[in-house]
Structure 1
Amino acid sequence: MISLQKKDAWHAVSEHELSKHFEVHPHEGLGKEEAKRRKERIGENRISGSEEFHLLRIILHQFANPLVLILLAAAVISFFLDERADALVIVFTVLVNTVVGVVQEGKASRAFIKLQEHVTRRAVVVRDGAEQEVISTDIVPGDVIVLRAGDYVPADARMLDGRNVRINESALTGEWIGVDKKIGTLPEHTHLTDRTNMVWAGTLVEEGLARALVVNTAHYTEFGKISLMVGTTRKEKTPLQRDMASLAKLISVVVLGTVGVIFALGLLRGESATEMFLTSVAIAVAAVPEGLPVAVTVILALGMERILKSGGLVKKLTAAETLGSTNIILTDKTGTLTQANMQVSKVVTGSQLFGDPSDVLTQEAHASAALIIGVSTSGAFIENPDADLSEWITRGTPTDRAMLLAGIQAGVRPVHVFAENPRIDFLPFEAERRFSASLHKTKKGTLLRITGAPEVLLKYAARVYVGGRTLILTKQRLEALQKAHEHLSQGGNRVLATAFRLETAEKIPTADTADFFEKLVFVGFIAFHDPLRPDAVESMQLARQAGLRAVMVTGDHRLTAERIAKEVGIDTANYAVVEGDDLEAMSPEALAERVESIAVYARVLPHQKLRIVEAWQKKGAVVAMTGDGVNDAPALKRADVGVALGSGTEVAKEASDIVLLEDSFSVLVKAIEQGRVIVDNLRKVITFVFATGFTEIILVGGALLLGFPLPVRATQILWTNIVGGGLLTFAFAFEPKEQDVMKPRGNGGRERRIFTRQMWFLIFIIGIATDLVLFGLFLYLQWNGYELARIRTLMFLGLAIDSIFFGYSLRSLRRPLWNISFLGNLFFWLALAISLSLLMLAFLFESLSNILSLVSISFSDVGLILLFGISNILLIEVGKWWFIRREQVE
């Protein structure tokens, strides 16, 4: 039995000793059954996190709230002052708030855990002699892993071979400069950061292609050791959550100051100190939005769950709140608007253009020659080559997969190609250089094969392959090739060119030297067709109707991009199409000036995407951007919402805020729709919490200032808070989308803030309107000779009924209450039923009525309160009408 994960000096062991220790052949890898046995023995390659549901911790967290502690202190004081009934109400209030808080936080916690389960990284391993993709948690010591640019290293591993491998090790060292990796052994006492023959879990492959043998997994990795020492990290808070917490603290200070004034006024008015103390505490509890941050978290978490059901995995809470404000989408073409199901549609060679058209055999041979170059330079592979053709699983980029399958269908099998001319070096495709290359052994030396952007290869090609010989690439022949390229691109095809050159070197020359393309022989074009997604046109139309503007940003040829843009519904008649070279020539100021007039960017390099994002942001836009490559990461990070394709590189996913589990533009539009639902629900709960708290402060404070007795007692305020708050606040998180959620919002949808002046004014109007009606009710009851206990009973009932009516009205901030879907939110009706039950209990149980100082009331009294509630809700609806109109023009 081998001893796994014990050594710390794998860098000093020879490759032979390493292979012997782990009982693995460096080219064959582990067998699938052996890998399974090792996983059962050692466990998953996973570093345990803190995303677990702990009920006790959530319960204890409720009692860490300062207001809860104040309430408990008030209960103790009341008990010793022989106000035991008041103490019971206070304790019950604490219990109810605790239960509601536990339900809310528990729901949010479970939602986050569910989302975390979808965050998986994948890796390529060699098992039974073939490359295959696995979940990174399935990797075991002894696995041979294949690393490509854009991959995250899944475990600590020793380099076996590689080409131009550079690793970003900032996750371990904090240093962002990439580290070049080498092959061979190092002295045993070499410092960790100098072990250049090792790759570490959690680090990023910036460049190159390598194979490495896994030596440590999970907590035995260097990253795992650090995680154990550091322990769990605090969960990210979004800007909105931080704003909510800061606002809650600010309001707490203001409310407590106001409560102090109310307490002093009460004493001056001759009220008992005990009564005023309890009343002050009750108002503080009702008015301070201590539960608002939790309610915000629940809304965000449930919104993230809805987005997940639509096919988008939200990785950061920030994105959940920002999606609703997005108004510019910078979208790639392949995969998002098209199906990423590329197929070779045509091969056009120099022999077809300049050779004998009757020589069919030669033309077919030259088409095969172009495919041989394409297959040789493809980074795709078949995971299960022994299976039937119909069951093959191919891995790689859509273009590489299409190239590989087209070659196989034409009889160009990689195994035969590499048997005839073994591949001894490989340079994978990178967006910046726009080509890939492979070096092969021949009987006379070596052969360099290149596949890349036609304009790059045609710029440097010296000759063209025609009829088994090479001809000088004259100006006339070059123009003919360029026209053929344009013709293929106009059909919406992605076009690549193929070329070769005889070599003598054993390594591919450095790609950035001028002589790299010297004596290059052009062979032909390979055109790829990628059909539009069936829902692309409809999704684009929905986005346009919602006030969202989509701009295509692609590396494809201008004509290809323009054709697809027209098909999908992007306006290229009134807006410009700009190429990357033209973009490069623009200053930041010039780009910011023109950015709103550009609909399509073609032949764009990754670093130029960052410039486009920043230009739009200078215009005040909220930008969502899609990307899938290594070099897309800076632009994805800079965008307000970075959106990675599920088929993209791990680094793109890591840099993004959202991962599209299905690479489709429609999924992004649905995610933005749910983002708007989140914004709507956040506004509803914030308005409800602040308006109800504001109402109670003005009611009690105003009564004392005007010389009236306290309109409600402390225990009644606390019970009203239970009836009208708690679950009703929670219910807003479950509100479904409104019918007009995907209609343009004021100023083209540019509403970056949850809080607006109109919203604060609405809160103020609602509070004042409710208090005016309540004071009118209070005065009416006094003038009609009602005794104080009965007045307080009716005021208590009025406050509770008002909260319930108000809660129903706020289910929509953009529609009157009579247009709100009655059964659209069943949780609201459950919360309402519980609230009404608690309200009825206060009147039906004599002991509870005595505790709350309630007296019997008549049916006419109930009718009066209902009439008050209806008149108040009509005033609120007027305020909403004003709010809706202001939101539409802002």
Structure 2
Amino acid sequence: MVNNDIDVNDELDSDCLTGLSDEEIKLRVQKGKSNVVPKAPSRTISQIIRANLFTLFNAINLVLAVVVIIAGSPKNSLFAGVIITNTLVGVVQELRAKATLEKLSVLNMSKVKVLRNKHEKEINLEDVVIDDLIILVPGMQLVADCIVIDKNEFEADESMLTGESDSVIKKSGDELLSGSFIVGGNGYAKVIRVGKDTYAAKLAEEARKFKKIKSELQTSVNKILKIVIWLILPISALLITTQILFTKVTWQDAVISAAAGIVGMIPEGLVLLTSLTFVVGIVRLSKWKTLVQELPATEVLARVDVLCLDKTGTITEGKLNLEKIVPMGTHSIEDIEDILAALSGAFPSTNPTQQAILDKYPKCPNYKLKSNIPFSSARKWSGVEFENEGAWVLGAPEMILKDRYEEIRDDVEKEAQKGRRVLLLASLNNESLTEDLPENIDKAALLLIEDIIRKEAPGTLEYFRREGVEIKIISGDNPVTVAAVAKRAGVFNAESYIDARTLPESQEELAEIIENNTVFGRVTPHQKKALVNALKSKGHTVGMTGDGVNDVLALKESDCGIAMASGSDAAKAVSQLVLLDSNFSALPEIVLEGRRMINNLENVSNLYLTKTVYSILLSLIFGIIALPYPMQPIQLSLIGAIAIGLPSFFLALGPNKDRVKSGFLERVLSVSIVNGCVITLAVVAMSIIGFIHRIPVGQSRTLAVIIVGGISLVILTRVSYPLNGWKLGMVSAMIGIFSITFIFPITRRLFSFSITDLIYIFIAIFFVVVSWPLINLILEIYEQIKNKRKLKNK
């Protein structure tokens, strides 16, 4: 709603701007007219506790524990300890993640410059009040709804609000809606709506909802859990029924046996571990000043095989150095320097080119300004007109000279090949400054400007080259200049460049061109998006870095958008990762964190899902053959802790730099099913032997624990490969602890182990020993079949 206290058309003359006084600011804050943006929904501590405590898996474990206690065996309800463990770990890690994210968000809080008490002041967006005068510069996102004041003009991108891709010229009296971006123009706008009355509160959320990042890990785990949930219900019913009605044991023993089968089917540790892996990744990346705006972002970046980089602000610092001025007309170098200083100082705020000139010539002559035209991405030039010195323009030579560009083409391209940006300073020969430049422009000088390459860029680019990640440089600048800068930075095949103005519109043709070229110059925002889509159409996983408004569409379209904190609010709003200190060298660390996360989770998933597979198979088989279930809950808890729970914690957090492969779900399921089938076959064979030889149930279960625990430790050893010092120590410790439980009387009583004949123990150990080569054989046969199918499909 427009402020009713003060007419927005009053006091808009930019020649006498003062901004609000302290009293006026205080009055507006008291009336609730400050830009307090509604906070993003965040769970309270009680909500976090409830969310982690009241889960389906916890409910199943709790019911089974109560039933087992009623059956008279409290020790067999120890598996319910997972409820406390899962809840505590989940709550603690979520609180840590929340604290980390809030801390990082504060570090990344948007700032805005306003004019108050005749002085410029930088404040938080929430401190903006109605009638504040905001200083607008290109690349800035509007934090409140404003109106353009007198003698100011802007070029605004409202695509995120209206869906229209073309930028809109905003003149005096026009509204600038929050959520739009300033593409061109420098000056002032007056705030007319704040807080929940603006688009600002909704923009960031809507931008992030533009697409949900695709996590293969989360998708795969969710698929597995859905399948398991559907299997648990009927198999549990079958097992409970047969254990109570058909086995020759007491109802208490039957209930305890059924509980063991059901508990084993639940992969609750996998759910917890997946969440923990993402959360720990966020905490680790905070050390590298990286804000993770979507949890799976590190995973996706680790899968990226093509990384698109915007030159400015990514491989370069975004700062320019005016290296040389080449006079071309009758004007002296001193006159040219004065005009450049005056032109660059004629706007309220400066772009990098103007700043480079001002750094070189900080002393501005006292010329009286008649009018100015700010730089526009469409015009690619800016201009000023002085009372006594005439009108001057500065910008891209081809845009200023148009048909006369051939006069200096060779000079421009010669310098561009050296990686320099070439700008033309020209006089309008006593004609007035308008947006339509005259034909008889007088060339005054060429400005040779160089990008300052980030110190860390060459090492980071070399890392990605070694890791097989293709680099594509996509920029709005001259392709020859961009290629030269890319070569200086160490981009492989940087000499293979193309002017985007010659690109076809067909995605198929575009896909072939982008595959065969590295550097793309003069690229429009929509072409950046098209190039990303073309790469994705070829099956690539595409990462995109950027810092400007012109990168927004491509950042949205990429699989993983990465923004520099020093860049525009627009880029940060739509990216999954924000480099808070704009440090390009953090990207390899993010990739390594993603690799560690994915590869380790895949390895430990084999442990959890193997348990689920053999528990489902054993429950189904023993439910059908009506024999007592071969293990008790406490025995299964021992195996789960020794061979899965404790080791998986260390394995998940250990280093792992292996390249990420696609097909997570297929690999995990194939290995887990093979492991689970081998364990099931061994246990069923041992149970049949025990049934034939009339081995007591207690002794038969002890033999089953030896087999299941032993083969699980074999699988743990396989998962831990390659065995280094700490992994070997961990596996040895787990084997030692498992063996000790059979030796001491106190542990034998605790886990209900019975002494049995040595011959049967040797048979059980034999099953454990042969499991390794048997698993190898089955997996080799599976791989051969899979490879034959691939060849056949080709």
TM-score, L = length of structure 2 = 0.83
- Residues 535/94 of structure 1: CA separation in 2 closer, same or farther (3 Å cut): closer
Paired letter, 1:633: V
- The structural deviation recorded for 1:155 is 3.5
* Residue 111 of structure 2: aligned partner: 122
Which amino acid in structure 2 is aligned with residue 251 of structure 1? V
Match of 1:523 among 418, 441, 444: 444
| Residue 474 of structure 1: aligned partner | none
CA distance 1:312–1:520, shift in 2 (3 Å): farther
Query: 1:620 Cα deviation (Å)?
Result: 0.9
1:70 aligns with 2:52: no
Contact 1:275 1:714 in 2 (8 A): no
The yes-or-no answer on 1:582 pairing with 2:502 is yes
CA distances 1:674-694 after superposition (whole Å, capped 9, x unpaired): 322232133224322212211
**1:421 is matched with which residue: 348, 368, 376?**
368
1:348 alignment partner in structure 2: 326
SS in 1 for 2:473: strand
Q: Which aligned pairs between 1:175-194 and structure 2 lie closer than 5 A?
A: 183=172
Query: Are 1:449 and 2:392 counterparts?
Result: yes
Give 1:768 deviation, angstroms.
2.4
Q: Does 1:557 align with 2:478?
A: yes
Q: Distance in 2 between matches of 1:54 and 1:837?
A: 41
Give the one of 468, 490, 494 matched to 2:421: 494
Structure 2 residue aligned with 1:253: 230
The DSSP-based 3-state class of the residue aligned with 1:335 is helix
- Rounded to whole Å, the distance in 2 between the matches of 1:863 and 1:370 is 95
* SS across alignment from 1:570: coil
Where does residue 758 of structure 1 map in the other structure? 667
Please list every run of 5 or more consecutive structure 2 residues that lacks an aligned counterpart in the other structure: none
1:120–1:874 Cα change, 3 Å: farther
| Contact 1:53–1:110 (Cα < 8 Å) also in 2 | no
SS at match of 1:334: helix
1:437 aligns with 2:437: no
Q: Give the partner amino acid of 1:818.
A: L
**Aligned counterpart for 2:313 among listed residues 327, 335, 350:** 335
Cα 1:548–1:517 change in 2 (3 A) is: farther
Q: Give the equivalent residue in structure 2 for 1:386.
A: none
After TM superposition, give the deviation of residue 47 of structure 1 in Å. Answer: 3.5
1:771 aligns with 2:680: yes
Identify which of 55, 68, 74 aligns with 1:85: 74
**Paired position in structure 1 for 2:578:** 659
Would you say the 8 A contact 1:762–1:879 is kept in 2? no
- Kept in 2, the 8 Å contact 1:70–1:281? The answer is no
**Which residues in structure 2 correspond to 1:818-857 (within 5 Å)?**
818-819=723-724, 822=727, 853-855=752-754
* Structure 1, 371-380 or 329-338: larger mean CA deviation: 371-380
Q: What is aligned with 2:487?
A: 566
Contact 1:90 1:715 in 2 (8 A): yes
Alignment of 1:727-738 (within 5 A): 728-738=647-657
The residue identity in structure 2 corresponding to 1:758 is R
Matched residues in 1 for 2:148 and 2:556: separation? 30
What 5-or-longer segments of structure 1 have no aligned partner? 1-7, 185-195, 356-361, 382-395, 462-477, 746-750
User: Residue type matched to 1:523 in 2?
Assistant: A
Contact 1:105–1:294 (CA<8 Å) still a contact in 2?
Answer: no
Task: Give the match's secondary structure for 2:188.
Answer: strand
1:693-712 pair list within 5 angstroms: 693-703=612-622, 705=624, 708-712=627-631
Question: For residues 115 and 840 of structure 1, what CA distance do their matches in structure 2 show?
Answer: 47
Q: What is the DSSP-based 3-state SS (H/G/I as helix, E as strand, rest coil) of the residue aligned with 1:429? A: coil
Partner deviation per Cα, 1:119-173 (whole Å, 9 max, x = no partner): 42232223564545444345455642112343222235554343145463966x9
Q: Which amino acid in the other structure matches residue 548 of structure 2? A: G
Distance in 2 (alpha carbons) for counterparts of 1:178 and 1:556: 19
Q: 1:788 is matched with which residue: 697, 715, 729?
A: 697
* Range with bigger deviation, 676-685 or 702-711: 702-711
Q: Report the Cα offset of residue 246 of structure 1.
A: 4.1
> CA–CA distance in 2 between the matches of 1:41 and 1:803?
67
Partners in 1 of 2:398 and 2:486 — Cα distance? 21
Opposite residue 320 of structure 2, the aligned amino acid is: M
Query: Matched residues in 1 for 2:502 and 2:738: separation?
Result: 69
Equivalent pairs, count: 781
Deviation at 1:621? Answer: 0.9
Corresponding residue for 1:61? 51
1:459 paired with 2:420, answer no
**Cα distance 1:790–1:268, how it changes in 2: closer, same or farther (>3 A)?**
closer
Q: What SS class does the counterpart of residue 453 from structure 2 fall into? A: coil
Alpha-carbon distance between aligned partners in 2 of 1:560 and 1:179, rounded to the nearest angstrom? 29
* Cα 1:157/1:552, change in 2 over 3 Å: closer
Q: Which residue of 2 aligns with 1:482?
A: 409
Q: What's 1:193 paired with?
A: none
Structure 1 residues 43 and 117, CA, compared in 2 at 3 Å: closer, same or farther? farther
* 1:31–1:128 CA contact under 8 A, matched in 2: yes
TM-score, length basis structure 1: 0.75
SS at match of 2:513: helix
Deviations 1:360-391 (A, max 9, x none): xx53225415624751577745xxxxxxxxxx
Give yes or no for the alignment of 1:613 onto 2:602.
no
User: For residues 34 and 789 of structure 1, do their structure 2 counterparts lie closer, same or farther at Cα, with a shift above 3 Å needed?
Assistant: farther
Change over 3 Å in CA distance of 1:594–1:316 after alignment to 2:
same
Residue 298 of structure 2, aligned match among 317, 320, 325 = 320
Residues 284 and 218 of structure 1: CA distance in aligned 2, closer, same or farther (over 3 Å): farther
Residues 712, 88 of structure 1: CA spacing in aligned structure 2 closer, same or farther, 3 A cutoff?
closer
Alignment partner, residue 140 of structure 2: 151
| C-alpha deviation, 1:177, in angstroms | 9.1
Distance change (3 Å), C-alpha of 1:481 and 1:91: closer
Contact persistence 1:422–1:440 (CA under 8 A): yes
Distance 2:166 2:448 in 1: 38
Between 1:9-18 and 1:542-551, the stretch displaced more is 9-18
Kept after mapping to 1: 8 A contact 2:257/2:628: no
Give distance in 2, aligned partners of 1:702 and 1:98.
33
Q: CA RMSD in A?
A: 4.7
Please report how far the alpha carbon of residue 528 of structure 1 lies from its aligned counterpart in structure 2 after TM superposition.
Answer: 1.3
Give the superposition deviation at 1:597: 1.1
Q: Compared with structure 1, are the counterparts of its residues 260 and 643 closer, same or farther at alpha carbon in structure 2 (3 Å cutoff)?
A: same
Task: Give the equivalent residue in structure 2 for 1:688.
Answer: 607
In structure 2, what is the equivalent of residue 363 of structure 1? 332
Structure 1: how far apart are the matches of 2:30 and 2:323? 47
Farther-moved stretch of structure 1 (85-94 vs 547-556): 85-94
- For 2:21 and 2:745, the matched residues in 1 are separated by 73
1:286 aligns with 2:264: yes
Percent of aligned positions with the same letter in both sequences? 23
| Distance verdict in 2 for CA 1:108–1:802, change over 3 Å | farther
> Residues 803 and 376 (structure 1 numbering): CA distance in 2 closer, same or farther, change over 3 Å?
same
**Aligned mates of 1:113, 1:856 — CA distance in 2:** 57
Contact 1:628 1:644 in 2 (8 A): yes
Distance 1:665 1:236, change over 3 A: closer
Distance 1:484 1:781 in 2: 92
Distance 1:253 1:764 in 2: 17
Q: Which moved more, 1:709-718 or 1:203-212?
A: 203-212
Distance 1:801 1:449, change over 3 A: farther
1:457 and 1:888 mapped to 2: Cα distance? 60
Give the distance between the partners of 2:725 and 2:612, measured in 1 at CA: 25
